[in-house]
Structure 1
Amino acid sequence: MPARDPLIETLKVCILNLKSEGTVTDSNPHLASCCELLELILQKGLQQPVLSLAHRDYWHCFEQLLQHDTCGRLSSVSLAVQQTTACSKLITSQGRGRFFIRLMLMRRTLGNVVKHLLHTNRVIEWYCPNISILRNEEFVEPFLSLSMVLSEMNFKINIENCSFLDESWLLPVCQIYEAVPCRELGMVLRYLDGRVFVLDLLQGSQAQADMFAEPGDIIDEINGISLRNASNGQAGVVLSKLKGQPLSIHFIRWRGEDGSIYQPLVKHLRKLKQEKPSLRFGPKPASQQDRTAGQKRGQTQCVKDGRILYAVHLLGKANIGMCGGKEVLQHAIPEVLQSKQARKEVLLDVKETHLTCIEKSNKQELFQHHFPEISCVGRFGSQPDLTIFAFCLLDSPQAGKPTGFCCVALQAATTSECEEIVNRIAAGFKHTEWFV
């Protein structure tokens, strides 16, 4: 009976599980196990240098492949090594090795890289022949075959989510928030172990209004600038340099996919809690009031791509002249109502940077306006029309006519939902910088 290595056999089972899922994404429960098995195989039997204090890891083997390539065959490997080396979110050799494994899987080059590793004598000699799988004639062929199988599979994974690869194969939830140019976001930050944590949200700030961050979340990067291993005040310096520009902020969430605490963050969150005892990290129990409100909202809302869309009626719009301040809503909304335009059932999506209106019947987009275009928003001021709200913005220019403002009026299902929509739109343009 041929000899079997438990790592090879386990990897084989793991790959079968991956293949059964089709396209492999970060949410696949078998991905982390597969990567960890590849790491263990590449580490097994790797010998440490005799007269050196530096620790050798399998990442150094991949680095050495470039130095021993004499015929330029490793252009794809070279690009991958350069991308890994240039990634500022990685600090340790272990983190770079893990990033490189994920990169090879996504680019379908794992099999070819393993082949080159096996045929580069100066590198393969680092492995002990009595222990290593890579220098064992019985085990190396099955491992190479499995590597080629992985190279034929479709991996669609987020390479940018790599800030915790130094610590763990378990990846956090990483989300992007896009904000219009604003005076301040309203987050209190705490620098801890080279990471930028959100400690608190200021009352009435854009951060609190949009609820795009929670205390305990990490700001990973801003507009492509990594904040991994950041020094005190570095996030503020970056934001000051980007003043007046739209912001794209990558957040690492303290909650995992299942809502529980992301385990590599536990020790950091404990330190934050010592500084601010009122912080709560854990699932929030829903009260009966919350559940009832959620049921009512569910009747007038739907979900698209993970976002809540409001089911409202578009009442129409009207040109209101050269003034677009909030005082014009008092006569602008009645003007739209008196025009008796055809009501349309629409879905209103209030996003972080703009709002979009889609006709419910045919899913056609009727308009999209960024918050800097909106000059005011409010409700109709008397009963029974507190479900009607409107916003004003510059009217579309027409030939021979001066550009003025127009009022767009809509009607929500309930007064509370109307107030909620108005507050969300107001929060969007309230914090916007205006430039002339």
Structure 2
Amino acid sequence: MAPKDALLGTLKVCILNLQSDGKVVTDSSAHLASCCELLEFILRKGLQQPVLSLVHRDYWHCFELLPQQDTCGSHSALSLTVEQTRGCKKLLGAQGRGRYLLRLALSRRVLQRFIAHLLHTPRVLEWYSSSCSILRNEESVEPFMSLLLVLSQMDFQLEIENCSFLDESWLLPVCEIYETVPCRELGMGLRYLSGRVFVSELLPGSQAQVDRFLRPGDVIDEINGVSLRNSRNGQAGVVLSRLKGLPLSVRVLRWQDRDGASYRPLIKLLRELRTENPALDLGLAPAPSPRAGHNRRPPASSSSTLCLKDGRRVRLEPKGFFVGWRLVYVLQYLGKANIGMCGGKEVLQHAIPQVLQRNLPSKEVFFDLKETHLICTEKSSNTELFQHHYPEISCVGRLGQPDYTTFAFCVANSPETPLATGFCCVALRTSSPAQCEELVCRIGKAPLM
């Protein structure tokens, strides 16, 4: 491993961006999600799986063991953080618990202490590969700890209770509290889908309709502190019947972001909800970004200027969505193909033809290269096809003679989940060889895997 790991360089950029967001880091900070994703990627890099085990090991399992290895009991803050994470009923798997612990550790300024304790716990540290893990590399672990020290000196004020979607995504929904005076019943219809409790309708003249707080499509996350995560049919009704005549405090997760876009992890369930009730008006505008904190496109009514130049789109947006001029390429998306366990540059010359041989219809797309990640959006529908942070990309290159306009990159399959195996090749076609070379160089200069 090189002395300066590319992931650490990207993490440093994210931390500097976080500091530029303001003195206090909240869930609305633009670069929080990118920073958390990079921390997760680093903690998973080189984590080896046990032999003959049905349980897939994730970084949460490392943190969970640390208090047990503390024979002196000198890390009570770490133990409390682990116990709070373990006791959270809104988390169902190791991925959600790991993300919850990271957010909790950032808020309590103890993440550096967690990693320092891990580095001095050989039984846990040996789970990481000495050949590729940052935690086992002497030249990389010191700058990593320095970056964690910077994070520990920052003021993170995160909404810890808003964690019901951490098992699926780093993107968090808008969370609000609905408080109502004692009443016989709220007057709302509920629908249970995949362990979530949705508001399906509001009865005319009911307390819920009069208050105008709840909306069809919203998720009831908890009632008076009782979590409804992973609920079965009727469970919310049982909780409400026990609280009849008492003041209610309902934690509501909105199906819309504050900019009006649909909350991405809910879109599939919202469509199912609308299929059952076609009269339900949910809009279902696709979320412009699958990760919280990234810059979002404005609504169609916003004033903006567009022009095309050399096959590229340049947009001038109002402040608050984009800063200054943005450069977005107009390309043809050719598709992708699984290429096995090798993601090196040498595989591209046979991986790209493998994609082309599938003869899939190409799609005209907008290809946006941001500071820490790239986004590909279908031009006709504005639907996002994929998004990848640069550390997820293992290599990039173009097809040789006779087609100098086609390039591709390799990326780990489903990098957000710990069950990811193998790589896939993503191929695109440019309008000219010069544009192809420009894109390959721009992506290649980013800190890749």
Deviation at 1:272, TM superposition (A): 0.1
Q: Which residue of 2 aligns with 1:373?
A: none
Maintained 8 Å contact 1:186/1:202: yes
Q: Which residue of 1 aligns with 2:116?
A: 115
Q: Which residue of 2 aligns with 1:10?
A: 10
Deviation at 1:8, TM superposition (A): 0.6
Q: How does 1:191-210 map to 2 (within 5 A)?
A: 191-210=192-211
Deviation at 1:282, TM superposition (A): 2.5
Q: How does 1:45-194 map to 2 (within 5 A)?
A: 45-194=46-195
Q: How does 1:222-301 map to 2 (within 5 A)?
A: 222-282=223-283
Structure 1 unpaired stretches of 5+: 288-436
Alpha-carbon separation, structure 1, partners of 2:219 and 2:284: 18
Q: Deviations over 1:143-197 (max 9, x none)?
A: 1111111011000110000000000001100000100011110110000000100
**Residue 279 of structure 2 aligns to which amino acid in structure 1?**
S
Asked which structure has the greater CA Rg, the reply is 1
Maintained 8 Å contact 1:259/1:283: no
Deviation at 1:7, TM superposition (A): 1.1
**Residue 6 of structure 1 aligns to which amino acid in structure 2?**
A
Q: Which residue of 2 aligns with 1:27?
A: 28
Q: Are residues 232 and 4 of structure 1, via their aligned partners in 2, closer, same or farther at CA, if it must alter by over 3 Å?
A: same
Alpha-carbon separation, structure 2, partners of 1:189 and 1:238: 13
Maintained 8 Å contact 2:222/2:251: yes
Deviation at 1:3, TM superposition (A): 2.9
Q: How does 1:304-319 map to 2 (within 5 A)?
A: none
Alpha-carbon separation, structure 2, partners of 1:255 and 1:99: 22
Deviation at 1:244, TM superposition (A): 1.5
Deviation at 1:210, TM superposition (A): 1.0
Alpha-carbon separation, structure 1, partners of 2:113 and 2:68: 17
Deviating above 3 A after TM superposition, structure 1's stretches of 4 or more consecutive aligned residues are 283-287
Alpha-carbon separation, structure 1, partners of 2:137 and 2:283: 48
Deviation at 1:4, TM superposition (A): 2.1
Alpha-carbon separation, structure 1, partners of 2:109 and 2:19: 14
Q: Across the two proteins, how many residue pairs are aligned to each other?
A: 287
Alpha-carbon separation, structure 2, partners of 1:147 and 1:264: 30
Counting aligned pairs with the same residue, the percent is 67
Deviation at 1:2, TM superposition (A): 6.6
**Residue 6 of structure 2 aligns to which amino acid in structure 1?**
P
Alpha-carbon separation, structure 1, partners of 2:80 and 2:26: 23
Alpha-carbon separation, structure 2, partners of 1:280 and 1:177: 22
Deviation at 1:84, TM superposition (A): 0.3
Question: What TM-score results when the alignment is normalised by the length of structure 1?
Answer: 0.64
- Calculate the aligned-residue CA RMSD, in Å: 1.8
Maintained 8 Å contact 2:196/2:228: yes
**Residue 177 of structure 2 aligns to which amino acid in structure 1?**
I
Maintained 8 Å contact 1:25/1:155: yes
Alpha-carbon separation, structure 1, partners of 2:78 and 2:196: 30
**Structure 2 residue matching 1:134: 3-state secondary structure:** helix
Q: Deviations over 1:186-225 (max 9, x none)?
A: 1100000001000011011111111111111000000000
Maintained 8 Å contact 2:198/2:219: yes
Deviation at 1:283, TM superposition (A): 8.2
